[in-house]
Structure formats: C-alpha cells, structure tokens
Structure 1
Amino acid sequence: MAQPTIISIDVMGGDFGPSVTLAGADMELKRRPDLRFELYGDQAHALPELEKYPALKAVSNFHHCDVTIGMDEKPSQALRHGRGKSSMWRSIEAVKRGEAHVAVSAGNTGALMAMSKFCLRMMADIERPALAAIWPTTRSESVVLDMGATIGADAQQLFDFALMGGAMARALFQKDKVTVGLLNIGVEEVKGNEEVRTAGQLLRDADLPSLEYAGFVEGDGIGQGYVDVIVTEGFSGNIALKAAEGTAKQLAAFLKAAMGRTMMARIGYLFARSAFKRLRDKMDPNKHNGAVFLGLNGIVIKSHGGTDALGFASALDLGYDMARNNLISKIQTDLAHYYRERQASGPVDSEKEDRA
C-alpha cells in the first residue's frame, strides 16, 4: 500500500480563511483518499469550521497558532512578527521538518515567498525563486514562469527558470522530455533584449536530455500551447497573467450580454449551453488555481487569495501531483546534470560566482 501524501495547510490564509481552506481540503480528500493533513490556524476560528467535515477531521492533525499573517502585511513585517509562530510559517516549517510533503497557503504572496526562502532556503546554484503556474491552452496546458516572484532576471536566471519549469512540466505532464520557449517580442533571433537572446543561446548550447529548446514565443502564443514551458521574468509574467484573467472575464461578460440581447439569441443559447459550459469550465481560473515556488528545498504552493473551495482544492491537487511525482528530485537531477557538464567543459561563469 502506497504511503499517504501529507499536506500542511495555512488554514487562515486568503480572503476567507477556514471557510474556504477547510472546505477545499474536504473536497480534495474526496478526490484523493490517500491524503493526510497538518492544519495550522487559530483554533477559535478554525475548529468550529473543521467540525463540519468529519472525514477531514479524521485524517488531520490540528495545530493552534496565535498569529495570522495579514493579506496587506509587508514581507519584512510578516517575518518579524510571524516567524516561528504564525500559521503560514509553521505550515512551511512542517515541510522542512519532514512532517509534510508540501505546504499550501492562500495568504500574502510576498510574505509566503519571504518565509519560504528563509525557512527552506534556496537550492544550490539557484539564485532566485520563480512562481510557476499552469496555463490552459487550446491544445492542453503549459507551465508558465515566473509569474511575479521576482522582478527582472538575467540570462542565467532565465536559464535556471527553464530548467526548473521543465522539471515541473515533466512531473505534471508525465513526459521524459519537454519543450521550452522564451517569451519575447518576436520569434526572430535578433528580437528582444540582450538577456533574453543570451538565455536562448544558453538553452541551445546546453543540449539537455530532458529539455528541448523551441525558441522564442510571442505573447499571443502563450495560449496556443506551442511549448510545454514558457519562461519569462516576473514583471512581464505577472502582466501576462493578469491580462489573460481580465480577457477571460471580459469575454464572459460579452457572451452573457450577447446571449440575452434578443429572443433568438436566448433560444440559441438553450441549444448551445453545453458548449458554453465546456468553454466556461476551460476558462475557469479556479480549476487552474495554484502556483509553485520553484528553487526552494521543499514544495510550497501559492493559492489565489480570493479563490473559492474548488479553487483551493485545485491548489491542493497541484501540490499532491508535485509531491507524488518527485518535483524536487527532478529539479535537482537536472541542475546537477547541467552544472556537472558545464564544469567539465570549462570554468563556471565568473559573474555567477561573484553574485554567489
């Protein structure tokens, strides 16, 4: 019998706290009966909610925490008063101690990143974390990173993002080799800034067994699913994400208005509503909720703060997949292979040594 997967949850995180996080955990337990939970939160708020879900309570350990990190707190402030005693910190610490395979929080993104870096530390050879999300495409799904963990990135950091995103895609899509593209303002090799062009050259030269570099991808190609992984830095990645979310809402509003404009349109909707339901499901951000902080010595999943129970369950499901498919070992294997080959072929980049 397979060992259970254990997820630690910051029960207090997000806009709605226990009413969503515990409902989502119960929903995910129905899908994944082998799950077990370590729950961290304020008992006065969380325990009455937990009583509503006897099956979840039976497979969970609850830990009272006096401190909850606010959604508007600065990372430095959150670290100062929440280290060691907040529900967010202790859920991450459970991963560090080996008491959980993955931590999930819908809380403050900046605080979660700061605490995760401080508690779990960065992997060797990785300078900056990346936030990687699943992006629905016309073909299936792609992994896109960085979605806003850090602003700006040099060529080597973009290359590292590609390695980590490739490992995540292999874990998620069950592939031995994945395709990777760099987000750029054009597909021609002369387009883009120097860092992006240099990152492309690094990926071409690396010739990694688990990764095929497919070149540059323009913004309108993200949703086409041309590659398994699209790499960019956090500023443009976050803008792309928010633009896509806004476009989905805009399209839904347009369709709703158009379908109710005339009697014939309403009749047409009755015939086409199954197709519209499939479209709505495909574009529903709650069904693609959850992003992974890559580059840490442990798995931490960030759920959208305003999500509902279904969305939080989706974030838990992502964490389950990443843990069961050995995300950390896949990243470490790819990093070790690349840097071993790089050292064998010549001295390591002096700029990277200086930054380290």
Structure 2
Amino acid sequence: MGFRAIEWLDDSSILKLIDQKALPQQVHYLELTTPAEIAGAIHDMTVRGAPAIGVAAAFGILQAARGAAGAGEDLQARLSEADAVLRAARPTAVNLSWALNRMRAVWSGAGDSEALLAALDREARRIEAEDIAVNRAISEQALKILPRKVTFFHHCNTGSLATVDLGTALGIIRSAHEAGHEVFAYIDETRPRLQGAKLSSFELLQFGVPHAIVVDGASAHIMRTRDVDIAVVGCDRVAANGDVANKIGTYNLALAAADNGVPFYVAAPMSTIDFSTATGDDIEIEERDDSEILAINGQSIAPDGAPAFNPAFDVTPHRLIAGIITEHGIARPPFAESLLAMKRAQETFLEESA
C-alpha cells in the first residue's frame, strides 16, 4: 500500500496524518503536535471517517498527557481540557465520543502519573489495533454472502483513508477483489466534498479494483440498468432500532436500492452502534459551512449571495436496510433484537479474550 492515513510517532508524540483535503492530486502528510491541532484536523476533515476520527482522538489524549507530564502541569486539568476540545470537533460520529470515553475511563481513575501515562499508551494502541482487527472481521463476514461475480454500489469513502488499515464498506469491496471475486464497483462522487470521486477512487486505483465514478444522481438509473448486486455503505452512528446516520446522500441511495430490489447493507463496527440512542430522530446532524456547496476547490459555482443549506449527514430508516455487517455477524431485521444479539456476542468475545 502506498499510503497510511494515520500513524502515531511514539518517540516524538506526534500524530502523522495524510491530508485528505489534498488528495488525489497530492499525497501530503501533516505532523500534529497538540490535541487542538488534532481537533482542528477532525473538524476540517483533514482526517475523516468515524474509525479514524476515534483513533486520532485517542492519541490526542495521550499527547495531552505526555505534554502535561513533561511541563509539570496539572495532569487531570490538561486531560479534561483536551477531552472537551476533541469531543466538540464533530458531533455525529459516535466513534469520537466512544474512543474519548474509553480514554477517560483510564485517566479519570488516575494513580501516579507514570502509571497513568503507561495505561493511556496501552489504551490508545489497543483502540488502534482493534480497528484493524474489526475491519478485517467485517470483511470476512461480508464475504460469506457475496456471489463470485459481484457488482457493488458504494457511497462516500470507507476504506483505508477512513480507518487505520483496511476499511469497512470499501474494505469489503477490496477484500472481495483480493479473494478472487470478479468485482466491479460504482463509486458515486459524494457531493459536496466529493469523497467518492477523490478518495474512494484513489484507493481502488491503488489496489487495482475495477470501478467507475458516477454522479450522485445516477444511482437509481444504474441500479435499474446495470445489474447491481449489492449497495454497501459505512456509517457514523447506528441507533438501537437500526436507523443509520451516514454521509448525506445515503438515504437517497437506500431509496433507490429499495425501488430496484438491490439489497442495501451497512458495514458497522460495534463501536459505531449507539444503544443509548433509541432512533435516528435522536441523532444530532452536523451542519457545515455553505461554502462546501457553493464552491468546488475554491471556484464558485453559484451566484454571489446565493443561500445554501448543508447538512453533512442524513438518517436512513432501518426499514430500508437488508443487514448491518458487524465484526460478530450480520444483524438483520428486526434490528432491535439482532443488534442486541451482536452486543451479547461482543461481550462474550471480550470475556473470553480477557
């Protein structure tokens, strides 16, 4: 692989990130030295994708702890401040708060600073390693249901750029290709930030996966005329009833899939399932700056003074979803029951692994 989206440089306590805003024209890396810089990178989507955001935040807390210890500052105050700054960076992706809650569980019961630093280091690395293992397990689950010749439709970017390594939904497409399936993928542009055209296509070219970029509005036509076998997307949050918050346009894609008899699947690590959120109506939807809609790469595409409304996510109702692919199996309707079964499977796994 010619790139790595996120890397912790332990000797210098620097988080090295690929600048996803510079892709695909340039593979450029940033070295972030403070939690505030990491929060800024999360907010402006230098780093994006729910799993990658969670890992970045975990290392941001470790960075804060090391900085406080080195400067002789109040460790608890420094960690609390870093937690607040990172937590506010993006509200919709549950992995951000999930990772920060795990780190908080370590530092809130702190002992001496040396032991705390070691414990925070272990937890951040554990979150990183788990993401790699979970993504591979999700692909293994998905391969069980895929035909040998398979045409995918994919939205946004959910691959190596959105995670630590393989990816979720795009990781399934790549894994099918590497397992010898005859794969073709339709990749929509994903307006307004074009993560599909810029990032997903970049990744699939790296791995030699046959694909075509299409405009977002072409999904229904392509599903009706091009024998699409499966639509698969990632997600930023899954409610307890199976409603899914994901990049804006996911709901449209699910509606097109339903009307054309194409099964619509969501790839979701268990960390993305929020059992404290009853339905999708309870999920806060991030709204971003109008400029993302009104301009492309700094070039205005709308009249001066034109207003815009820019929700970054939408919620796909669970009734449109054929299955939610987790590392512990595929949850199917009714999701209120099957997702709880996945949770129990995870708890059993963690107990056996302890």
Q: Give yes or no for TM over 0.5.
A: no
The alignment's TM-score, normalised by the length of structure 1, stands at 0.27
Computing the radius of gyration from Cα coordinates, the structure with the larger value is 1
Higher relative contact order (CA 8 A, sep 6+): 1
The alignment's TM-score, normalised by the length of structure 2, stands at 0.27
